[in-house]
Each structure stands twice: as structure tokens, then as C-alpha cells.
Homo-oligomer: A and B are copies of this chain.
Amino acid sequence: MNPIYFTPGPSQLYPTYQQHLQYAMDLQLGSINHRSNVFRDIYKHTDEQLRKLLNVPSTHSIFFASSATELWERILLNLVAEKSYHFVNGAFSKKFFDFAQLLQKNPMQIIANDGQGFDMNQVEIPNDIELICTTQNETSTGVYTSSTQLSLLKDNNPHALLCSDLVSIAPYSSIDYTKLDCTFFSVQKAFGMPPGLGVLIVNHQCIEKSIELKKKGYNIGAHHTFESYQKNYLQFETPSTPNVIAIYIIGKIAEDMNQKGIDNIREEIKLKAEMLYNFGNESQLFTPFVESETHQSDTVIVLNSSVDSSIIINHLKEKGFHIGSGYGSYKKNHLRIANFPATSVDEMNQLIELMKEFELSYL
């Protein structure tokens, strides 16, 4: 049996990934021109399938970049003249804030302790803030912010554009795109693909803001500006030669997911998450790091580890199950377990049984 990756990205490939890759090779998609009808049809298909899967309305465009990290930069350059606001509760939301500092966007931040979330009704955001940056699923600590809370944030702050990093949660969370101006994610998490593609979903207000900033003389960058994205998108092209094969495959995987049904996918993830948290609640060695249930992520489950995490990680690896260590300073004290659509209920069950066996032998 091949090892199974429960790592929080790169992660287990979606079961149909390899067959789509083989078909892409058979179609010679690695050699096709990105300004041809073959490519335009691919982009159109991927756009349709992602739109259906994520429930994206026609107010929003779907663009491609190389990674979510690149997109942090593009979003800040294109949507902020002077001031952004950041919800920081872990390493990745902090990096988004750090990018804003490097790009000299005078960012403000509200910080929650690691493992804790925010109550959006308690947060006051100044009137001069142009962009609010949130991270729905903090991959480093497994803290989740509900879509309802994100929508509330927009209701309370209609003066600012609202952006949410959906890395490690899309397509699991159900987003109300009438409230979210800008979202993005990378494909090596819950879409079960190798890294190399980022997806950006923005509405017309974002594109207009970017054009306005450029007109006013702000440096919005040269590559992947929202204006160049949109201009090319109108004919299902990209500003420059993109990762054609990844754009093809994410469309096919979204199609597979649509056929399975997003509700079924969400139910399965919910079930697997409950299994893992139940294990954590009963375990003496591995307890949930995020205490508040409303902030516990269903897609990246972080457990405190009373034993050096490398011991159980290596033990599980020998059995063919890869899980993640803690992030940064939590490396030895946490386990991070991805719960993405690519792994089955049965596989999650096997993983939990192995962890139980480990605990029994250890205690």
C-alpha cells in the first residue's frame, strides 16, 4: 500500500488526480498554446466547475496565480493604497500582515492568542481602512472563523473591502459571496493537487479599486495586476503563460466533486472531523489545541501532544500514515492532521485506530 498523506499541505492527492494527469498528457496539454481555443475551453470549463462547486456568483471573476503566497502580495498591491487591517491568530495570518508591512501599506492588526478566534461583533475597524484581511482557517494552529462571522464583519464594515484567505478550507466552507469581495486558496490543500497553482476570486469592486489605484499613480505591480487579469479573463485567457495542466486538472477535480455533491463532501469531512475530535477528547496524550468548539477547524485538526510529536509521527509513518508536526515553535508539542476530501472515512478510522494503539502501548 502507498503511504497516505494526512499532512496539511502538500497533502494526499485527490483519488482521480492521476487519471486526469494521464489524460492531460494524452491530450498533449503540456505543449498547447495558451492563446488557443483549446486553452480557452479549458479555462471556461474550470471556471464553470469551480463556480458551481464554490457557489460563486457572476459578480466575481476567477483568476489563477502560482500560489496563495503570491496572492497575498497581489491582493495588497491591487486593493490597498494606504491602509489594510489584519486579523492575526497564527503564523499564516501573520505572514499576510508581514507582507503588508513589506509593501508599506501601514497595516493595522488585531491579534488573538494562538488557538483562539475572534468575535467580530467586538472588533472596531477604523473608517480609513481599505481592505480587511482575514484567514478563515489558520493552517498553523487549526483555528476556524465561521462564514457567518465573516459576513458579520462585512455588515459591520461596509466601507472596506473584505478578503478571506481560504487556504486549507476551500471548498469545505460555504461562503456568502455577496459579503466577500476577495477570496483565494492554493490547490495543494483540500483540492488534493501538487503545489503550483493559486486561485483568486474577486468581484468588480476589487477590479475597479485596482484600476483607480493605478490611475492615481500607486505602484500596483506589473505582473498579475487585476486589470490585466480581467482583460484576459473576458476571453478566458491569462496575462502570461500559466500552469495549463494544473488549470485543467482543478477543473476536472471540481467536476468530480460536483458529481459527488458538495453536500456529501462536506458531510464526510464533518464526520471525519468529529471522529478525530472525539478521539482527542477521550485521549490522555493527544487533546484538542483549540478549546472553543466554534473555532475548531474541521479541515486542519491540531492536537496537543504530551509526547515528543516526532515519536508518534515516525511511528505512524512506518505504518504508512503521514501526519504533520506542529508549526514553528509548536513543532514538538502539536500534531496537525489534515482532513481533506482526498482521504476516506475508512482511512481516517485506520489512522485513529493506530493512534489509539500507540497510546495504549505508551501509557
Contact = CB atoms under 8 A, between A and B. Distances in A.
A18 interface: yes
Determine chain A's interface SS by DSSP, over half rule. Answer: loop
Nearest to A66: B66
Contact of A30 (B13, B28, B104): B13
Nearest to A17: B30
Counting chain B CB atoms within 10 Å of each CB, which of A21, A224, A243, A244 scores highest?
A: A243
B21 A33 contact: no
Interface residues of A, number: 57
A304 B356 CA distance: 72
Interface stretch (A2-10, A110-118, A149-157, A282-290): A2-10
A7 B21 contact: no
Contacts of A222: 72-73, 76, 98-100, 102-103
Contacts of A335: none
A11 B29 CA distance: 10
- Identical subunits present: 2
A31 B324 CA distance: 12
A72 B102 CA distance: 19
Nearest to A243: B196
A88 interface: no
Contacts of A219: 102-104, 219
Contacts of A186: 241
A261 interface: no
8 contacts: A7-B33, A10-B31, A13-B31, A31-B322, A65-B66, A66-B70, A104-B219, A196-B197
Interface of A: 2-3, 5, 7, 9-13, 17-18, 21, 25, 28-34, 65-67, 69-70, 72-73, 76, 98-100, 102-104, 186, 188, 193-197, 219, 221-225, 239-246, 322, 324
Q: What are the 6 tightest A-B residue pairs by CB atom distance, in nearest-first order?
A: A66-B66, A30-B194, A196-B243, A69-B240, A102-B222, A99-B222
Given A10-B33, A69-B241, A70-B223, 12 more contacts: A7-B31, A11-B31, A13-B31, A17-B30, A21-B21, A66-B196, A66-B243, A103-B221, A195-B244, A196-B196, A196-B242, A196-B243
